[in-house]
Each structure stands twice: as C-alpha cells, then as structure tokens.
Amino acid sequence: MRKTWVITVIVVLFAGFLLGGSIVAENTGTPLLSGLFGTNSDNAVENKAPVNTASAAASLPMGVADIAEKAGPAVVNVEARIKVSSGRADPFMNDPFFREFFGGSMPVLPQSRYEKGIGTGFIISADGYIITNQHVINNADQITVKLTGRKQSIPARVVGQDYELDLAVLKIDGQGYPTLPMGDSDKMRVGDWVVAIGQPYGLDHTVTTGVVSAKGRPVTIQDRNYKNLIQTDAAINPGNSGGPLLNMAGQVIAINTAVNAQAQGIGFAIPINTAKGVLQELMNGQKVVRPYMGIRMLDLDQEVCSELGLPADTQGAVIVEVISGSPAAKGGLQAMDVIQKLDGKAAASGSDVQAAVERKKVGDKLSVDLLRQGKRLTLNLTLAAKP
C-alpha cells in the first residue's frame, strides 16, 4: 500500500513538473523542455511562419549607446562645394596715382570663389539613397559624402530636392550600405526621449539626447517657412542639419533642421511622416507638385480687426495680396477679404487656410466663405499647381 502511495506521489509530482515547465517555457519563450530532452530548438521552429525579426527588434527600446552604435554606420557626413560669385577691387587701385585718376571710384572685377557647406545625411536604402536637408546642398556644383570607416569620400548626386520642405535625396553608387529604419512621427508624444546624431562642425559622429519639447511648431528662417516641426531640447549644432532624430527604438522620427540661436537648448526637426509624403517623388527625380491659391494673408487679431471695423473676436485670415493670374484672382478674391471657411469648415487662422489647401490636389475645387466690407460672400475657385 505504501509502495503504491509513493508511486502515485511521484507520478503527480512529475506531471506537475511537466505542466509547470510547459507554462514557464511558453511564457518566457525559453525552450526548456527542448533542452531537457535534447531537442534542437532551431529545428523545432522550422515549420512555423517566418517572423520579421528586424521589425520586431526595431520596436523594442534600446539604450542610447546601443542606438548610436547601431545607427552610426548609416549616418554620413555631407560636403557641398558651392560656387559663389563676388567682386574684387582692381589691384592697381592700391597705387595713389590710379586712385586719384579714377576719382576714388574703384573698378570691380568679377571673381568666382568656392565655399564649402557641411551637413549630415542618413542612408535609407542599401543601394545608396540618402536623405538630407535641401539647404545643405542648395546651389552646390559638387557633393561628396563620407561614411564611417572609410577614409575616402564618395561622390554623390542630387536626384530630387524640395525647397519648400527643405528636403533633398542624394544617391551614391554601390550596394550593401547600412540603412536606418523609419518610424512614425505621429506617434511621438511630448516628453518622449529622442537621440540626435550628426556631424557638427565636420567632426566625427556626435550623439546628443533630449525629449520632444513640442510638436507642430512653425518656424521662419530667412525665406523658408517651416511648418509642423518637432521641437526638441536635444542639442542640434551647426553641421547636424540633415541628420536623423531617433526614437528609443532606433527609428528615424524626424530630420534635424535648425537650432534657435536666440534660445538655449531649442532645436527643430522635420517629422519623418512629412518626408514620407514626398519621398518617392524625390527618389524618382520628380518635381513635387502642390496646389495653391495665390494669396498672402495675415491672422486676424484685435488690432487688425479694429482697422477693418470688425468685432474683436472675429476669427479668420485677412488677404493682404492676391497674386495676378492665380486661382484666387480668377476666383474673384480681393485684398482685405477675410477668409472664414473653406469647403464649409471654419478657418480660424492662416495656418488653417494653408492646411486646407495642402489637403487638396491640383485641379480640385475649393469653396471660400469670406467677409468683404461687412458682407458675407461665397466664392469658388479651382486650385492650380504652385509655380
């Protein structure tokens, strides 16, 4: 009897071990039973559906050092040689006789010189397509890139560029280049950690960290009007332009573009989803075609409302100029008209007007509700390609 009881206990314990071990193995992903029984775990999964291990790994958070080590080889230094026309004084003007003869008027002779622009880029395809900022290569007559571990620079050519978005795609010959995966910038939240990699002042890779400080920031630098930028406190120094801003999974979520020189620790980057919208066109060497109305406008504020004789809480955008021959001119819009709705949806500011137009295509109709000298009007126009 005692022997039977002992055998029963042993059987129960062994069964419990098997069940418990199976559960542990399933929950941890460790081939515990395979190890116990000498089964080859690689062979055990041969018949399963293939898993995209690269995508799975890319979604997992990593340490900053791991991100820098993994992403570094795909980040390149971009050098652009830009021809600049300038003038120089005739060397004879150093002689007082000649200076007096010409009455102090010094002839200027044309002279060409070259400046070197330095920026950053990152490789997005194994066959050598590179994303950078358009301002890095603007008007360049020679472009080279330098890869990690290679002493010699590689000639690059521009296959597509978009001045308005400040994006450019370069191409280098060859195959098998390391690449960076693209993330989803729309999923980034204020406060999320980010990593910036670049080539400030032409130095080798530098890595800075910070957080997303804000989203949707408009910034004007000289004659470029950036919209919907990601703001970060990760240091973006001169030379970092065109480099990647990465999430903690090592995915590119933005393209470093500018640093605010008048504030400490404020940098801006173009969301990668913005780049995705035109990337294929740029890679194909096609011009990015955008619809436009053909107006210049200002947001309404209390001062503008007062000048126009409107209630202080009036919302909209006032037209300050209508470009001749534009869709707006053909549709009957005039200076001092106040746009309040587009296709029946409220437009509280100039940004709302721009966003509504950008959602359209060339040739689309657009209904505009506006105020003109206190009267409400609805005009219709057809959007054309922006020159």
3-state DSSP helix/strand/coil % of the chain, to nearest 5: 30, 35, 35
Nearest CA-CA partner of 223 in 155, 135, 126: 135
The residue annotated as part of the active site, out of 213, 241, 337, 352, is 241
d(CA 372, CA 335): 9
Cβ count near 382 (within 10 Å)? 13
Q: Answer yes or no: 205 catalytic.
A: no
Burial of 301 (0-12, 13-18, 19+ CB in 10 A): exposed
Beta-bridge partner residues of 229: 217
The residue annotated as part of the active site, out of 162, 166, 337, 369, is 166
Nearest CA-CA partner of 195 in 243, 259, 147, 131: 243
Beta-bridge partner residues of 207: 197
Q: Provide the sign of the torsion angle of the four alpha carbons 257, 83, 151, 181, taken in this order.
A: positive
Q: How close are the terminal C-alpha atoms of the chain, in Å?
A: 98
Q: Answer yes or no: 166 catalytic.
A: yes
User: Which are the catalytic amino acids?
Assistant: 135, 166, 241
